[in-house]
Structure 1
């Protein structure tokens, strides 16, 4: 009985090693980008069927919105979700 108590004292509580606030901030940020950037991709895909959908503004053309969508998904969503997951796995 004494051996199990000593072993329990030797290992800290796993929840005390994790900074939940930090992890949730990273995961919520990744979730935000995971919602926003694919919606830009849906808007871009609608330009194939309806070319005049966004008007004639030069800032809303396919060539300007495509990098925003791709980089937003890669750097905004995937990287922040990965960092949040790393903070959870490696406390």
Structure 2
């Protein structure tokens, strides 16, 4: 890895597997090949979750992504504004 601060943990791999498996199951739900309840229970079993809330977090993962995307867009816009402001100040100081 190029980032010396990155630390890999087994749970990173497990979580990635869980999200991908959830996507697979929800595609099958959308096609009518299984019910949401079946997808939920299969994911819970494969991930060895003892608490329903843990599996619910995986099933609801994508619902919050739009908030992350919106926050990233807002941050990018703010950085662009600050950059333009700094460039304008530099031009005014060094005509």
Of the two structures, which has the highest relative contact order with CA contacts closer than 8 Å and spacing of 6 or more? 1
User: What TM-score, normalized by structure 2, do the two folds share?
Assistant: 0.39
